[in-house]
Structure formats: structure tokens, C-alpha cells
Amino acid sequence: MTAARSAPALHDKVAIVTGGASGLGRATALALAEAGARVVVADLDARGGREVAEMVDGHFRACDVSDLEANRALVDFARQQYGGVDIAFLNAGVATGCGVGDDFDLARYRRAMGANLDGVVFGTHAVLPALRARGGGAIVATASLAGLAAVPLDPLYAANKHAVVGLARSLGPALARDNVRFNAVCPGFAESRIIDHLRDMLAEQELPIIPAELVADTVLRILTGDGTGECWFVQAGRDPEPFRFRRVPGPGKGYGV
């Protein structure tokens, strides 16, 4: 049984899904709707976003997540349509497309950091007042296995995804007083546009591509659980679960767990 079919806690909840026009966002929007949630789909791809919004009987809002005001406008739109917000899946992201050496490109770097990190920070900042107004809620951010391991072939992507992991681990306990849970999902090579430039390499190395639906199912497991500050890995051949950050040194009690 999928999480979508066994999540009565999501019935009539209002969810924002960024990067919802395709890939992981699309699959999660569909799963949320199947579980009874009301969904606002946000993306720069208006055509794809509207198609998904129609499929879930929800609403579409064009949004550049790297723009703080656009995030605030998205949350205002969701509140106008549904009266509030309970869930935010901050999923929008792009491939980096450059490194730190001769191939460094400032515009590509800014674009990647804007979508992959600013989009999570700005989205969280914008949605918190709406969640607090409902007495609490849940945020899930899309990180990556690249946020849990070294990625020599794409260090900048690893950098922004490590930042999302650090944000999730820190905001989980920080937002507990507001009854807001903050977690991250960390998929490997999952079916989405972001791996388009890697498909030939993945095929040559016989590396499996994770179905977007498996990631969506994991997001719903996170949303219907009670954990916070967790970073759930999703990898082929293994059951998704929170990654255990063991033996990390810290300055004192309460750190380094």
C-alpha cells in the first residue's frame, strides 16, 4: 500500500509544491491529491504546471523560487485560494552546469544556488507565517544523496545540497516550538529533468534510475510521520529511511549526534 493511499492525516490539508510541473514535484503533487490534500502547483514551466494542477484539481502559480517576493506571492496565493497552508514541499531545483575551475560560470552558479538553496530558504521564510497561523505544519525540502556524500564530478551541486541538509538538521529543532516540522528528502539518481544530462552515463554504468513515485511516497511518509530535522535517503535497492549522522564531533552536550 502506498503512502498516498494510507495517509488520512493529509485529507483536506493545503500543500504547496514547488517544481511541481515535472519529475519529483509532479509525482508528489499527484500523491498528495490522492491522499486528499488540496494542492497548489508552482513552477516556471507554466504549461506543465497547469497540466499537473488540472490533474490534481488544484491551482497553478508561476514562481521563480530564487526570488523572495515571488515566494511570498505564492504563499499569499495559496492562502487566498484555500484559506491557509499546512504543507510546503520545497522541491524546485536545477543542475549546476559548471565547476570551480576553468569551466566556472558565474551566471550558472548563481542560477543553481538561487534555485537549490535560496529557493528553500526563501520558501521557508515565506511559508512560516502561514504555518504558524494554522497552529503548525510541515516542510519537506528536496536535498540529494549529493548532500550526504562527496561528489567530485559536481562539487557545486554537492555544496548547495549539503547546505539544504544542514538547514534541515538545524531548523528541525529550531522550529519545534512553532509546531513546524522541517525535514529533507535525499534521493539518488531519480527520474526528473535534473538528470537529463546524465542519462547516457547512467546507462553506460548500469546505474538504476529511481522512480519519481518512490520519492513521492517517501515525502508522504515524512509528512505523516512525527520526525523533524531528519534527512531521508532514497536509493535503489534499499528501503528509504532517515540517514544516521553518527560520531560527528561537536562542541558540547546536544551537539555532535
Amino acid at 252: G
Kindly calculate the radius of gyration of the chain based on its CA atoms and give it in whole angstroms. Answer: 17
Active site residues: 157
Q: Which triple of cell numbers denotes residue 10?
A: 493529509
Report CA 42 to chain centroid distance, whole Å.
12
Task: Give the integer Cα–Cα distance in Å for 5 and 159.
Answer: 35
Going 158 to 164 to 168 to 174, the CA torsion angle's sign is: positive
Kindly tell me the burial class for residue 2, based on how many C-beta atoms sit within 10 Å of its own C-beta (0-12, 13-18, 19 or more).
middle
d(CA 131, CA 117): 21
Helical pair 155-174 and 106-113, crossing angle rounded to 10 deg? 30
**DSSP designation for 210:** B
